Amino acid sequence: MHIEEFREYCLAKPGVTEETPFGVDTLVFKVGGRIFALTNINTFESINLKCDPEVAVQLREQYEAVQPGYHMDKKHWNTIRVHNNIPDLVLKQWIDQSYYLVYAKLTRAQKLAITLHDEPPLDTPA
């Protein structure tokens, strides 16, 4: 996956905004004002994604490219080294899961605001 494909995939999700709150090098994607993905825009070596704590541990054991979240809460975030033979489909599934974990925690009003401007997201993936 390349940076533009990653960016387009994230921005295609309902209610997503992109920002650079940590400096011009760090591209952050948010839904409802909450981060669900971030990466270094210049190197695109890794992506930080939110993850269910139990799943996070399993992914770290299964994939060498998955590490505890760099500069993040290591219980809830993984850092994925992008160019380490992780198929794009798998990366997209992890992006989806991160998005839905954050979306699920939004208030009813935040979710309504998103659905008024975008199509509502599909049910949370299994």
Tally of domains in the chain = 1
Amino acid 72: pLDDT: 83
Give a yes or no: residue 122 inside a domain.
Answer: no
Residue 126 pLDDT > 60, yes or no? Answer: no
Domain with 97 in it: 3-117
Helix (H/G/I), strand (E/B), else coil: 29 = strand
7-35 residue pLDDT tens: 999 999 999 999 999 999 999 999 999 99
Give a yes or no: residue 112 inside a domain.
Answer: yes
Give a yes or no: residue 98 inside a domain.
Answer: yes
For residue 15, what are its two tokens? 């209610």
Q: Average pLDDT, stretch 94-120?
A: 88
Give a yes or no: residue 103 inside a domain.
Answer: yes
Give a yes or no: residue 91 inside a domain.
Answer: yes
Q: Average pLDDT, stretch 72-82?
A: 89
Residue 98 pLDDT > 50, yes or no? Answer: yes
Question: What CATH number is attached to the domain comprising 109?
Answer: 3.90.1150.30
Nearest-angstrom CA–CA distance, 74 and 63:
16
Give the CA distances from residue 52 to residues 9, 12, 18, 57, in Å, rounded to whole numbers and listed in that order. Answer: 21, 22, 23, 9
Give a yes or no: residue 33 inside a domain.
Answer: yes
Give a yes or no: residue 59 inside a domain.
Answer: yes
Give a yes or no: residue 125 inside a domain.
Answer: no
For residue 111, what are its two tokens? 């979710």
CA torsion sign for 7, 94, 76, 65 is negative
pTM exceeds 0.85 for this model: yes
Q: Average pLDDT, stretch 50-62?
A: 93
CB 79 within 8 A of CB 70: yes
The four Cα atoms 106, 47, 15, 97 give a dihedral, to 10 degrees, of: -60
**pLDDT, averaged across the chain:** 90
Q: Average pLDDT, stretch 90-113?
A: 95
